[in-house]
Structure 1
């Protein structure tokens, strides 16, 4: 499926800049701020009566770096009109009921016309550089951000270890920090190797910043223009049976990445670790001898780890999901 850049840009803009109600527009600026030339984080924080740290937490920022065109959720002041509910305001303004209640010292959810509320965006779930998200939160995060590195290859890996028996449903950060420690202390890499990690419950973590190329045995050619995704689990045949939640997330985020970076699913845009010689870093596709390639992302990954299985079982699912997402954005 071919998507023109003009069509893609218009779709993304419509997704990430929701229209504010007339009342909110009259009282305050929209709660999405687009970064302009010369902007600094402290300046934006001062303009919206918040802190740099709060902006970073509500936007999943891994550093103070700002790029022109980047979109940030910011606080707004809102005058309540008849019929407003706190749940509806939280939904409209990327907040939560508890965040609104806390910011305004509300003891219950009752609102009255003329009431002035400060509506802060909800904070993202972060520990250090690791950002834990649902796939829907990842969509917002991805399309709000600008990346200065050229990205045209999405790598698929499985962790092998940790496998499913290491995941208890709530230890996402513990597993991420374990991988990060191993990659730094044992492998000698700068930080955790992968940009993205998916979990059995369908959650997603962004860890290595997208503006940093991944590290690892797939080789410098693939890494220089790549985004690396590690799927927690051992997906070789006879090992972990991938959950529906993780399967849905894998399809969803690959579709989002293809839309974001203007890619069409193919062996040239979505690659398996198995297709790369671990000694030379060259792409060998299905011709690599077993002693020079890994089974990663698993012999049972969406029907197998061959180019044939990817074309038959993986890419069509991503293409269909891209169509669904684009239709929902229109």
Structure 2
């Protein structure tokens, strides 16, 4: 591993991967290499120890790459769900190799995966089919750059009559994913940053839809897919929460009445310690909406590790329907098996 590669891996591990996941990978190889691998220290210590172990061929480079890929592909993202308009389109999408050939040129595919690039613009990065060994599934990955200028100082020099404002330029590597799932849904996933807005998310979705359209050669978002409506899921989670109090807790809900008035009701905290329906007046207000031909169109729910039969390592907050009825937000990075659990539970209420 050359110095430039190491610097990039260091940046990716620091910015993308949780310390506990790096620690867990080191621990896997610790017993067989006690003199070379240490588990103590801060996150940067763990990162350096991991990269040292890769350079010594103690830990395979593929394990390092899988660690980064999983951190990019599960959690800390906005997820938009779509479904084909008919079975013919589903069968078309089942052929991942044909889909990728219609969207990305052979010369670009030869460079996959582009895990360590620092994009200055939109870049195709990776394609895998089948995805994680599941028949008729695939994942297409893209990178982009997001730039923001943050004001860090503002000074006025009275003697010179000058005002000096200093901005710091912040860049993030955006990760876009298109996944065709075993449940025959097409999912657009956008990584979260600290400076997202409805406008920037809409621009990202528009860009992705345009790229996969590829001038009419690839996927046509206007004629081949439609939104997955999560309204029933949101309302079932709300109505069945007391029967599933060991599985999840409600944190907040957005309600619409019969004349399209809106109200938001939330629990005291967002850690799920106090369930939304645990206080009488909140429960009565929600029931009044539902009994008066109103409905919920967004909910924040906390899936509980204690009720997951060991599938969740910790509690996980999930936001459904905040910006659109086909949207799911998972604000934290999670493991693949935790992501699978959350998505399975959401599907059970759909």
Instruction: Give the TM-score normalised by structure 2.
Output: 0.30
More strand by share: 2
Q: TM-score, normalised by structure 1?
A: 0.31
Greater gyration radius: 2
